[in-house]
Amino acid sequence: MMVRIILACSAVLVILSLSCNNGQKSQAQFLFPDADTFPLAEAEKLSAETLDDIVRNISSPVEIAALLQKMNVPFSADYLASTRDVDRLSSNFDKALKLGIYGADLGYLNMYERTGNSVEVLQSVKKLADGIMVGQYFDFETIKRLSVSKSNLDSLLYLSIQSFNQIDEYLRSNQRGHLSALMIAGAWIEAQYFATQVVKDYPDELLINRIGEQKTILNDILLLLAPFCKMSSDYTSLCNYMNQLREKYREVTITYTPGEPETIEVDGRLTVIQNEESKVEMTGQQLSEIIELTQTIRNNVIQSN
Amino acid sequence: MLYKVTKMKKLFLYIVLLVVFPFMISGQNNGNLVSNCVASTGPNTTYLKDYVIKLPKATSKTSIPVVKENFPLSKGTNYRFTICNSEGSAGQLIITIYERDQKVLSSFNEKTGKFYNSVDFACNKTGTYTFHFSFSNGDQGMGVGVVSFVR
């Protein structure tokens, strides 16, 4: 117990010291912690509960879908994972990982208001949620009704996203953090897949930067998965893939330029504009390798059952 | 004998109701508080996450209870933070956001003493931000903070 507390405190201190590097400098840079040192190696020894305090949420795939919409990228069903083999999934590993994948697909469909097409994905989400005993948090009937009627997109998005938040909360607070980590990793992989597939046809700077910035989020995903990497061959394989992707991101540079936030009040609402800025530097070669490996990982994930 | 069993059953039911009912009510109230707060975020917003915050009164002025939550925010996205207080909450819920050790925004203006129920944030730096939730003057309180983005 004492060792776990010391390890937990050390992890927080190391992560804080790695983070607090941009105060007075004119520019700072995001670097991965060294692969063979803290925190990744030590994170494997930490309990899932401790890591929950370090990494809580992962960006919602609906944000990527919203960005694609902003770029006027048309909807494409080709980006979606097939739901054909959902009934054949037997392990909790596959079910949780694919719950994240289909959750991201659902977010993409809903953002594009392709709600009529989403019933199949909804049914798959329900089956997988039931499969890992969290179906009670997914309000299938209401979400399906809102999808089919196409009546209230905001309510549909709210209920869908909230269901996933509740599943995540439940898994974390019931010593099933390994499944929550898989669900979050699955959603991130699918959102990253959308972004990297779209950028091939729409090389918009905003999207390229968003892909580059995933370096910081990938670091969080790796921390989240680290305690479970030796749990089974499935986890090990996923961790290996994610570490390969991390290597592809290693030379992508993210620099930060400091600036004071601006605050204005409009009609009683406070608006804060952040003037501190992050800037991504990524070569075409680095982007191509990230696109290729993301596709390999995602296709491997959706085919493995 | 049958009368005794029936009486026992009734007693058991009362006990169950006494124990469970307050939680049911509280759960429903939380649900209403969250859905009403989400509904108040305004048009063209997409819900991302809610935090139901319930904190006791501070024991001293220097130890005001705070709930801290990490959340990733992306550059180029306009986020909206909406604050709602539960009926009967003595304190007003305040959200203060930090990025690493630097304060980015607060829904409470210390200079003017004004509380904002809605704060928009034009994010220019992708990263993990820490939300600090507390109640004004360290009072006891209950409320919800909703994170959404403006489409």
Q: How do residues B21-80 score in pLDDT, each as one tens digit?
A: 444 444 546 778 888 998 899 888 889 989 999 999 998 878 899 999 888 898 999 999
Contacts of residue A125, defined as CB under 8 A and 6 or more positions apart, other chains included, come to A99, A102, A103, A106, A138, A140
How far, in Å, CA of B70 to CA of A126, rounded? 28
Residue B9 has pLDDT above 90, yes or no: no
Tokens for A131, please give them: 């499969």
Q: Cα(B136)–Cα(B141) distance, rounded to whole angstroms?
A: 9
Identify the pLDDT of residue B13: 44
Q: How many CA atoms lie within 13 A of B99 on its CB side?
A: 25
Question: What sign does the dihedral B112-B120-A59-A154 (CA atoms) show?
Answer: positive
Backbone angles phi and psi of A59, in degrees to 5 = -45, 140
**Does the beta carbon of A187 lie under 8 angstroms from any beta carbon of chain B?**
no
Q: Are strands B118-122 and A269-273 parallel, antiparallel or unpaired?
A: parallel
Q: Report which DSSP code applies to B66.
A: -
Residue B60: how many other CB atoms lie within 10 Å? 7
> By the 8 A CB rule, do B136 and B73 touch?
no
Contact yes or no for A124/A81 (Cβ under 8 A): no
Task: Name the most confidently modeled range: A72-76, A154-158, B6-10.
Answer: A72-76
Residue of B49, B75, B149 lying closest to A66 (CB–CB) = B149
Contact present, A294 and A196 (Cβ < 8 Å):
yes
Mean pLDDT of the residues in chain A? 82
pLDDT digits over A122-138, tens only? 899 999 999 998 988 88
For residue A150, name the pLDDT band (cuts at 50, 70, 90).
low
Query: What per-residue confidence (pLDDT) applies to A158?
Result: 84
First to last CA, chain A: 37
pLDDT at site B22 = 43
Q: Rounded distance, CA A278 to CA A28, Å?
A: 9
Residue A11 has pLDDT above 90, yes or no: no
Chain A contact set for B99 (CB, 8 A):
276
A169 in contact with B at a CB cutoff of 8 Å?
no
pLDDT for A53:
52
Q: For position A27, what pLDDT does the model report?
A: 63
Subunit contact B105:A263, Cβ cutoff 8 A: yes
Tell me how far CA of residue B18 lies from CA of B7, B21, B54, in angstroms.
Answer: 16, 6, 22
Residue that wins the pLDDT comparison between A145 and B15? A145
Residues of B within an 8 Å Cβ radius of A: 35, 38, 45-50, 69-72, 74-77, 99-102, 104-105, 107, 109, 116, 118-128, 149, 151
